């Protein structure tokens, strides 16, 4: 049964697309443009996946921590909300969806 709620747009402007696992009863939402997604879990129902996505796409911002310059053009760090490893081309954390704040690490 389809959920009545719909995923909001991603912070990059892409559409949130609901996906279902082929071999397990698991759901997640993925951006059609930048391909970030909620982490699928075996116990996520469709409505739980949409709720997780919509919560993550709120106005929440995470300061990037432990920034390291890998090369003259690439930096890595950790999401200040969930600790997920990120690179500076990410605008949002692919794990929790928080908008990443790289300021102070120019």
Domain ranges of the chain: 16-56, 61-101
DSSP tag of 40: P
Q: What is the pLDDT of residue 59?
A: 65
Q: What is the pLDDT of residue 40?
A: 65
Q: What is the pLDDT of residue 65?
A: 95
Q: φ, ψ for residue 56 (rounded to 5)?
A: -65, -30
Q: Return the structure tokens found at 23.
A: 């071999």
Q: What is the pLDDT of residue 41?
A: 63
Are 64 and 102 in contact by the 8 Å Cβ rule? The answer is yes
Block means of pLDDT (10 residues each) for the chain, 106 residues, are: 70 88 82 85 79 81 92 92 90 80 84
């Amino acid at each position: 049964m389809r959920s009545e709620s719909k995923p909001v747009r991603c912070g990059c402007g892409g559409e949130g697309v609901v996906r279902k696992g082929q071999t397990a009863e698991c759901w997640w939402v993925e951006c059609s443009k930048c391909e970030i997604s909620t982490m699928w879990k075996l116990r996520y129902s469709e409505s739980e996946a949409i709720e997780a996505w919509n919560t993550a796409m709120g106005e929440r911002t995470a300061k990037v921590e432990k920034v390291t310059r890998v090369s003259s053009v690439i930096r890595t760090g950790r999401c200040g909300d969930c600790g997920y490893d990120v690179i500076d081309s990410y605008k949002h954390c692919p794990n929790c969806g928080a908008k990443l704040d790289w300021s102070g690490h120019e």
